[in-house]
């Protein structure tokens, strides 16, 4: 009997146990749930020559920045699939391996070709989706639109699939179709509640439509079902902290930080560790709240170990937050030198927006608000190139707004705030009162 994955694609294993564990492991990975690694290891143990659980396990290692393990397992998967694998499986393994190796242009090209041939290969389709996917980190300015258009091109192949509804709905939300995106994502969430990516995507829609109280209730009701070791546990609570800041509740935001986001408490992947921590502390300070300096120093020390070198623009921007907040001009200068060299060599797809943001953040921390405004103004329309979600990138606009206020350009600041309140009319304006003082 031919074994298949949940989407009806044949699997090159005769082991029912290996196929069953692989199907379960993929579902756990696509839902951001705990137990993914252990389940994929069961599949590998049941059939050591089955390549797909090897490459899926490699991808999970890559999530946690375990590069050596990820590359070793990818190499094993390549060898196995060459000896025993279908054309679809060979393309699947190669595409994931390219992504794991950080060869983004090649991975994107391979992914598009693969999805054209096998649109129901959800694991490959997952690569460009989400805030940390191949499209978001490609340097393109229109990655929100690209994700939405990709999902629309294959929608007829998925129907009411919980994973596809989750990710296609989120793509709609990020591309500006918030009402429809929220409704589609909530359909996916209803089909599988044990789905952290769906909870997360719904929270993004709630952030965009201003449903702050509803988002807070969702987290309170749902998070007890999700283990603290879950890949998105801390980040989902980060969303709750953003809600607290919308209402100027700094004490609650700091309590959430202490509970799940600070380095000694978090179990998140390294990229979330630095981005969630840095952005929340920066927002607190920017809105006029006091952030104890030891919190910055502890978080910065952890970040320097996790990301000692420049590489990913989204990480570099958040490392610049640490350098600016701790007045570590040497660290920022060293990182900027590498970024500028990559830009000069044509190896920085995100372009000049990356060093500009880093310099603007340093100017803001030095209270040179006019310089911050002057540096950010030409690149504000390009901020999407650094990747991440709209909710994450809004930090840059917030910094710009406060810099406008503090440099005396209140009409420009008010125009930006009015535009935001037009998009999200249920938001309160209290968080800006301290910033304007």
* Residue 296 confidence (pLDDT) above 60: yes
pLDDT band at 178 (very low <50, low <70, confident <90, very high): very high
Q: How confident is the model at residue 422 (pLDDT cuts 50, 70, 90)?
A: confident
435 within 8 A of 405, measured Cβ to Cβ: yes
Residue 273 CA: distances (Å) to CA of 260, 280, 291, 293: 10, 11, 18, 18
With beta carbons less than 8 A apart as the criterion, state whether 303 and 65 touch: no
Does 109 score more than 60 pLDDT? yes
Task: Give the separation between CA 181 and CA 175, rounded to whole angstroms.
Answer: 9
pLDDT band at 152 (very low <50, low <70, confident <90, very high): very high
Do 165 and 157 contact (CB within 8 A), yes or no? no
Residue 382 to residues 219, 342, 405: CA-CA distances in angstroms? 32, 18, 22
Alpha-carbon torsion (166, 167, 173, 176), positive or negative: negative
Residue 281's pLDDT is 98
What's the pLDDT band for 436 if we cut at 50, 70, 90? low
Single out the residue of 431, 432, 349 nearest to residue 384, CA to CA.
Answer: 349
Expressed in angstroms, the distance from the first to the final Cα of the chain is 71
Read off the pTM.
0.95
The mean of the pLDDT values for the chain is 95
Higher-confidence residue: 314 or 419?
A: 314
Per residue in 122-145, pLDDT tens?
Answer: 999 999 999 999 999 999 999 999
pLDDT at 430: 58
Q: What is the average pLDDT across 161-183?
A: 97
Say which DSSP state 261 is in: I
> According to the model, what pLDDT value does residue 310 have?
84
For 264, the token pair is: 């000694």
Give the CA-trace dihedral at 129, 135, 140, 143, to 10 degrees: -20
Q: CA-CA distances (angstroms) from residue 342 to 67, 98, 313, 336, 356?
A: 22, 21, 11, 10, 14
Span 144-162, mean pLDDT?
A: 98
Q: Alpha carbon 102 to chain centroid distance? A: 16
Percent of the chain's residues with pLDDT above 90: 92
DSSP 8-state code for residue 265: T
Which helix or strand (DSSP H or E) is residue 3 part of? strand 3-4
* CA–CA dist 181, 169 (Å, integer): 4
Q: Helix or strand or coil: residue 98?
A: helix
- CA pair distance 96, 64, nearest whole angstrom: 15
Are the CB atoms for 392 and 277 separated by under 8 Å?
no
């Amino acid at each position: 009997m031919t074994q298949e994955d949940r989407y009806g694609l044949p699997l090159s294993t005769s082991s029912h146990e290996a196929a069953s564990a692989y199907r379960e492991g993929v579902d756990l990975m696509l839902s951001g749930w705990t137990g993914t690694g252990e389940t994929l290891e069961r599949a590998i143990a049941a059939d050591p020559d089955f390549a797909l659980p090897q490459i899926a396990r490699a991808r999970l290692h890559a999530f946690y920045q375990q590069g050596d393990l990820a590359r070793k397992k990818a190499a094993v998967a390549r060898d196995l699939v060459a000896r025993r694998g279908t054309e679809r499986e060979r393309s699947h393994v190669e595409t994931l391996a390219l992504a794991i190796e950080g060869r983004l242009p090649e991975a994107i090209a391979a992914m598009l070709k693969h999805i054209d041939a096998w649109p129901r290969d959800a694991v490959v389709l997952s690569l460009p989706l989400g805030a940390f996917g191949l499209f978001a980190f490609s340097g393109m300015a229109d990655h929100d639109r690209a994700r939405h258009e990709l999902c629309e091109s294959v929608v007829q192949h998925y129907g009411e699939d919980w994973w596809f509804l989750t990710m296609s709905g989120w793509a709609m939300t990020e591309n500006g179709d918030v009402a429809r995106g929220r409704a589609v994502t909530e359909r996916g969430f209803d089909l599988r509640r044990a789905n952290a990516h769906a909870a997360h995507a719904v929270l993004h829609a709630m952030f965009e439509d201003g449903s702050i109280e509803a988002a807070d209730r969702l987290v309170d009701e749902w998070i007890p079902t999700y283990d603290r070791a879950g890949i998105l546990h801390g980040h989902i609570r980060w969303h709750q902290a953003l809600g607290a800041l919308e209402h100027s509740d700094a004490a609650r935001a700091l309590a959430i930080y202490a509970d799940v986001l600070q380095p000694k408490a978090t179990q998140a992947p390294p990229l979330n560790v630095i981005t969630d921590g840095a952005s929340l502390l920066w927002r607190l300070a920017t809105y006029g709240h006091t952030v104890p300096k030891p919190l910055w120093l502890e978080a910065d020390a952890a970040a320097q170990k996790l990301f000692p070198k420049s590489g990913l623009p989204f990480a570099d921007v958040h490392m610049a937050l640490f350098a600016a907040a701790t007045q570590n001009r040497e660290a920022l200068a060293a990182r900027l030198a590498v970024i500028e060299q990559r830009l000069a060599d044509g190896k920085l797809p995100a372009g000049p927006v990356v060093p500009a943001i880093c310099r603007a953040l340093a100017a803001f921390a030095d209270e040179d608000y006019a310089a911050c405004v002057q540096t950010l103004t030409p690149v504000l329309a390009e901020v999407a190139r650094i990747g991440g979600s709209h909710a994450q990138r809004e930090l840059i606009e917030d910094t710009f707004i406060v810099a406008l206020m503090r440099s005396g350009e209140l009409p420009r600041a008010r125009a930006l705030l009015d535009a935001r309140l037009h998009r999200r009319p249920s938001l309160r304006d209290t968080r800006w009162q301290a910033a304007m003082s």
